[in-house]
Amino acid sequence: MAQRYLLNFDTRELPVYEADALVIGSGVAGLQAAWYLARGGKKVLLACRDSLSDSNTNKAQGGIAASFGKDDNPKLHLEDTLVAGAGLSDRDISAIVTKEGPADVQTLADNGAEFDLDADGHFALGREGAHCRSRIVHAHGDATGAEVARSLNALVAREPNVKPMTQCYVTDLLVDHGRCYGAIALYRGAKVMLRAENVVLATGGTGRLYSKTTNPEGATGSGMAMAFRAGAELMDMEFVQFHPTALSLPGCPNFLISEAVRGAGAVLRNLKGERFMPGYHPQKELAPRDVVARCIYKEMQEADSAFVYLDATGIDHVADLFPMIADTCRDYGVNIEKEPIPIAPAAHYMMGGVHTDAHARTNIAGLYACGETAATGLQGANRLASNSLLEGLVFGRRAAQDILSQKRHPSMPEGLYWKEGSLNENTPDDAAARIAAAQDIMTKHLGIRRSAQGIEEGLDLLAGIANSREGFAANTPVELDLRARLLVDRLIAEAALRRKESRGAHYRTDYPEKSDAWAHHTLDTWEELEKAEEEKQDGHVIWSGREINVMA
């Protein structure tokens, strides 16, 4: 059984850092929340496991979707979002994001973000898959995320109310009688208590659960794991998006080749040099991401190849349009102006996560979640391209505004403390090898194409790794990382086995069609997992998950 707390600790004996709000994570959502909270007069602890610049936001290339074009409006953006979400995007939530998002982008530009402009001084708008209009705001061609992170970091740095805490690995949330009072962390190697009236989880996604991913090291689902152990609801964990085009060469990282390259005219070709997407979908290379990823995977399987080609040689001045992509490919021997780029799909984005409402509130009082950590209902079963940075801006702000609007609730009651001390401190020292094994299991059994047999095999293999850690405390960041990974791995696998249909990014070879019976979200909780464990006979047990309707 998964442990509720990962560390042995007694909060009466720990150093305490205290503020009005604790923000965990330094991507777009966390920085946006911290900035708005500090501007509103709140003292903020901003905790991140490495540096403030280490986030998925910093790696994002394509841009921010927002309806600034003369021929565009929030309603059109809303409809594109709902179509891409394959029937699971919440209409009310999606309407909020598409309506409020442009103002958040404009606020960022007004406060120092240097987005690319056209000759008239308006945002230069790109086009990406499944969008009916050009509405992608970008910066420096293909470095939008880095510019968003730079500008928000600069804004946060000017706020004296924000205390950045780098190298701070938050491990456990402290919840009593349904209210969150803070967290336990390893801060530069020492256990500490982070005490706050409100906690904002913005810890990013789950890409690093897979061996092939576009995500940075910190994207391990740690925030989802700690929230789940604390009693928060997780929603739609089966929906993992695989980006269709990541650089695929021996010895090179799975570097993202932005969808904007296809939006500018690049085409996909198989090993024979044949363009294949027109034979699969009317939108060709700009079909929804799940469709493009599966088509590429099929072509790779048929050719017994580790890649296909993305041909951008027909785009005028392509290296000027996408300088970071051009430079990276050149470093690995590919001149994108003269030759096609070897690419393959890679794990990219988690549509599921901690279930929240329209104000980023979870089912635990005082606990908020935003960004990729959260499941707001916007992304549905398949995220529309470039909606992620937009969602982070909107719900980072909304979380902060909700906290600022609340009457101050009583601080942690006098005498309340938490203690965990039942775990063996002699932790096994093979965590890194176990992480690599788990990544391979997820890639093989919970990837682009899934089946009951494969998922069950994956679950059994993951259980073998998890069982080897039972009874031990997690004493190092790598061991903490392994525990968080294994819990989220299991949640993804159980949810994927439970959903007997194919919808959006979740594709079952044994249930290849979408089913109206599954046109709903599901919620998982710690209590349901515990009950399933108690009823377990042989092997694993699939708990049902509670259904909630989607506002379509």
**Cβ count within 10 A of residue 279:** 9
Asked if residue 358 lies in contact with residue 338, where contact means CB atoms within 8 angstroms, the answer is: no
Spell out the long-range contacts of 512-519 with Cβ–Cβ below 8 A and sequence spacing 24 or more.
514/86, 514/87, 519/87, 519/88, 519/550, 519/552
DSSP-assigned beta bridge partners for residue 9: 420
Tell me which residue has tokens 């993305």: 310
Residue 314, CB-side half-sphere exposure with 13 Å CA sphere: 10
Q: Give the integer Cα–Cα distance in Å for 550 and 496.
A: 18
Q: What is the 3-state secondary structure (H, E, C) of 245-271?
A: EEECCCCCCCCECCHHHHHCCCEEECC
What number of CA atoms fall less than 13 Å from residue 114's CA on the CB side?
Answer: 8
* DSSP string of 305-372, one letter each residue: -S-EEEE-TTSTTHHHHSHHHHHHHHHTT--TTTSPEEEEEEEEEES-EEE--TTSB-SSBTEEE-GG
- From residue 540, give the alpha-carbon distance in Å to each of 322, 446, 490: 47, 16, 10
Tell me if 515 sits within 8 A of 501, measured CB to CB: yes
Q: Of 289, 398, 450, 490, which residue is the catalytic one?
A: 289
Closest CA to 357 of 346, 348, 365: 365
Provide the total of helices (H) and of strands (E) in the chain, helices listed first. 15, 21
Q: Tokens 């392994």 appear where? A: 482
**Residue partners of 543: CB distance under 8 A and separation at least 6:** 494, 524, 528, 529, 531, 532
CB 356 within 8 A of CB 369: yes
3-state secondary structure 82-124: HHHCCCCCCHHHHHHHHHHHHHHHHHHHHCCCCCCECCCCCEC
Structure tokens at 411: 């601080």
The yes-or-no answer on residue 289 being catalytic is yes
Q: Which neighbouring-strand residues pair with 10?
A: 419
Identity at 364, one-letter amino acid code: I
β-strand partners of 485: none
Which amino acid belongs to residue 329?
Answer: C
Token pair 């010895």 is at which residue? 251
- Distance, in Å, from the CA atom of 78 to the CA atom of 273, rounded to the nearest integer, reads 37
The catalytic site residues sit at: 289
